[in-house]
Structure formats: C-alpha cells, structure tokens
Amino acid sequence: MKNLKFLVVEDEKLAQKVMAKHLEEYVVDFAETKEAALHKLQAADYDICFFDLMLGKKDNCSGLKLIPPAVSKGAYVVVMSSLDSEEIVNKAYESGCHDFYVKGNEEANISAVLARYQQKNASANAVTVFSEQFITDDPQTRSDILEVLKYARSSLPILILGQSGTGKTCLARLIHEHSGRAGQFIDINCSAYNQELLEAEIFGYKKGAFTGAYENRRGKLLEADKGTLFLDEIGAMSPDMQTKLLKAIEEKSFYPVGSDKKERSEFRVISATLEDLQKLLTEEKLRFDFFQRIHGFTIALKPLSQRKSDIFPLISAFTRTSKKLSFEKHARTLLLNHTWPGNIRELKRFIDVAAAGDGMITQDTVLRHTAQAMKTERQSDGFLAQEQYDCALAKGLNGAMEKFAYEVIKRSLLQHAGKKVKTLKELKISKRMLYSTLRKFEGKKDGIKI
C-alpha cells in the first residue's frame, strides 16, 4: 500500500500546527481557503482530506462545498468543526463526507479517523496481502497477520518471532507498507556487525569520529525518519547498545558517533529475533527495559513445517515469472513431508535450482535436495532440534521418543516408496516395532499411505 497523502483545509494557524504535529509522519498539504483547497484537489490526489467547516470570518460552512470534489477523486473525507449541531452533522454527511469530528481532542480524533479509514480498506487489502505480499493459506497465520496489520498505522512497536526464513523481514515490510508512513523502510541485521560498527551504522557518525570515518555518514535512525526501522536479530545486540537505542527510541533523538549535535528522527521500530525470548531475558542478553519498549505487539510466525498448505502456493508465486514446474505425485508427497529446516528461504532455493533444470520435479530431485538439507540442519543445529526438545517437554521423554521413532520410520518409508522391507533393514528394527509404532500414531496396521 502506498504512503498516505493528506490535505488539511484549515484557516487557523494554531490548528494547522496541531494537525501538522499529529500527522508528521505522513505527506501533508495545507490550504487556508476554499479556493486554494479546490486548486490543490485538482492538482493532486489525496487519500484523506480534513476540512474545517468554517473558513474565515462570516463564512457559511464553505468547507461543505469541498466534500463532493474530494469524494469524486476517491479521498476519504473528514469534516472537523467546533459546531456539532444535528443540522450541521447531517448536512456534512448528506454532502458525502465519511467522517465528522468535533475539534478539541485532535490526537484521539485523528487516530480514530485513521482506524476507521483502515477498517474501510481492510477487506480490499486482505485479498492482495495473502496472494501477493505475504503468501499464506494457513488460517492461523492469516488471522495473526490481519491482527498485526490493525496496528500498522499506529506507532506501536512490533516484535516478530520466528525461525530463520519464516518471512520476518517480509512481514516487517508489509507492516511498513500498511503504515501509510511517508518515510522509508530501513532494515538492519544486528548480527552482521560487531558492536562498534553496529553503533556507527545505527546512529551514523561524524567525520574523524574514529579511524576510517573519512566523511560524515547518516545512520539508519536518520534514514528511517518518518518511516520504519527494522532491527533483525536483536538478540545479537549488546546490552550497552540496547541502552543507547532505548534512549533514542524514547526521545526520538540521538547523537551520531563523535557529534555533539543532536539529531531528531520520527521512526517506528519493528524488531525480530529467531531466538527464544525467555532465554535471552534469563541470560540477560536482552535488557528487560529494552524488551518492554520493543514488544508493544508480538507476533510469532510458524515454521513452514507447520503450515504445509503454503508450500504449493509459495511455489506458484516463486515461479510466477519463470519456468513452470511439473511435479511427480511422489515428489509432491515428499515436498509436503519434508521438514523444511530453512523454511521459505530453503523452499525458494530448491525451486531456483529446480527451475534451472528441465522443469520436471521427480522423487529423486526432492530426495537429493532433502538429504542435503537435513545434513546441513544436523551440522548447524546439533542432534537435538528445538521442536524435539519442545515435544519432550510437552509429552515427557518417553512420549517424545515414541514420536521421534514414528517420524524416523515415516520418513524412511517415504524415501523407499512405502517398501517396509527396506525400512526394516535400514533402521535395523523389528517388524513388531514398525507395526506397533505405525498403529499407535496412525491407528492402522498397514502404515502410512504414500
């Protein structure tokens, strides 16, 4: 969604100033007279127009005359007035305005107007969000994303949790695109820098501040002015750095490294981490006060293995502009049963590689890939995966071991196209164990269908 553009028609200088302050993260044009407003409406398109009812001395509600031309250009029109008689309110709505408020409490009034505007556009947005911007068919993920988008227009900080490759950056960008903020989306991966470099990147620096600072440089905070600052992998940020950033977030001002000139920036913070939050707090890698400041709303993205209905819609999206792929039946089953430890990033890589070939995805193509992926997962995460540990905590060790045995048997059967003899030989288990495990989890003797 594009950044919001406002037209405020108001003859009082003080009221203009107040509106400018409340709308400072958006693009706002002002007009003081009806004529100036009509000129601006002809020259540009606005998303939301605020019209003062009375423009000038002895005025006969000329603000009402601006409503039809603004509505005809698709703007959401709001009338604001210190008069709220039934007659006036009726006249405003009859002229086609969408909203009316009584002046005097602008902060609450404007935020309520923005919420109503967002609600009006929400249903139209939902269609494009899940088919183009964040592809998912998973009901829970859709519902979580719609919930977080309700806060997109506020300045509320948002914390996104999820494994690597689950779409955290994509979601942060989506929230920014729905925020209507005029500034840019600026992202920084905190784990990609050592602490000194991270500070210089975030706050910027003055020429000569340190060896190698050959010129003044704007930091991410200034680049994110009126926009969004996305801090990925916040767990990698040192407690000292968290303290400095906390101050900048609270005061919306900061000093670049080596500078004594305070800079101001009206940025909104979205953070993300793939680590266990509780663990980060317990180990004091994440300061509690910093955590309190960045988790206004928290959303956890499920790994791809828990939203398998997204695998083929994602594949369709990845191949929208490239070669179409053809999948063998067994290849489809294997893709759905793979755990995708690298999540969407891994799926994208797999599709890129597959699309570079002949376009036919066979069982072998998938097995080759999944074997490599599991090898990589073993190398990076060690023997015990987080999911297995969580399962042991939930079901007890015996329950988790049974589940683990089932998953191993299931994968082996899939890889051998359901041939149990090969699975028995490969896993060195008895027929009794194989059948009792399958019966326990699938409730039938013959085991899983391939």
Partner 1 sequence: MESKSETRELLHDIESKTAGLRSAAKILRECPPKEKKELICLMKQSAQDILKYLTNLEKEINS
Site residues for partner 1 per CB under 8 A = 12-15, 17-18, 21-22, 54, 58, 82-83, 102-107, 253, 264
Q: Which is nearer to partner 1, 224 or 400 (CB)?
A: 224
In angstroms, the first-to-last Cα distance of the chain is: 43
Min dist CB 221 to partner 1, Å, is 15
Q: How far is the CB of 251 from partner 1 (least distance, A)?
A: 10
Q: Which residues of 326-351 are buried (b: 16+ CB within 10 A; e: fewer)?
A: ebeebbebbbebbbbbbbbebbbebb
Measure Cα distances from 348 to 47, 121, 166, 315 in Å.
36, 31, 11, 8
CA 63 to chain centroid, in Å, comes to: 39
Nearest distance from residue 102's CB to partner 1, in Å? 8
Q: Give the span between the Cα atoms of 154 and 108, in whole angstroms.
A: 12
CB of 29 to partner 1, least distance (A): 19
Taking the least distance from each CB to partner 1, the nearer of 105 and 376 is 105
Residue placing its CB nearer to partner 1 in the complex, 84 or 352: 84
The CA distances from residue 312 to 204, 218, 317, 347, in Å, are 43, 42, 9, 10
Residue placing its CB nearer to partner 1 in the complex, 84 or 147:
84
Instruction: Look at residue 67 and give its three-state secondary structure.
Output: helix
Of 105 and 430, CB closest to partner 1: 105
The two three-digit tokens of residue 161, written as one number: 């949790």
CA angle 195, 201, 202 (to 5 degrees): 90
CB of 41 to partner 1, least distance (A): 23
SS3 of residue 146 by DSSP: helix
Minimum CB distance to partner 1, residue 331 (Å): 59
> What gap in Å lies between CA 362 and CA 372, rounded to an integer?
16
Cβ-based nearer residue to partner 1, 58 or 428: 58
If the CB atoms of residues 31 and 299 are measured against partner 1, the closer one turns out to be: 31
Q: Which residues of 357-368 are buried (b: 16+ CB within 10 A; e: fewer)?
A: eeeebbbebbbe
Closest separation between CB of residue 414 and partner 1, Å?
Answer: 60
What's the rounded Cα separation, in Å, for the pair 13 and 236? 47
Smaller CB separation from partner 1, 102 or 433? 102
| CB 56, min distance to partner 1, A | 11
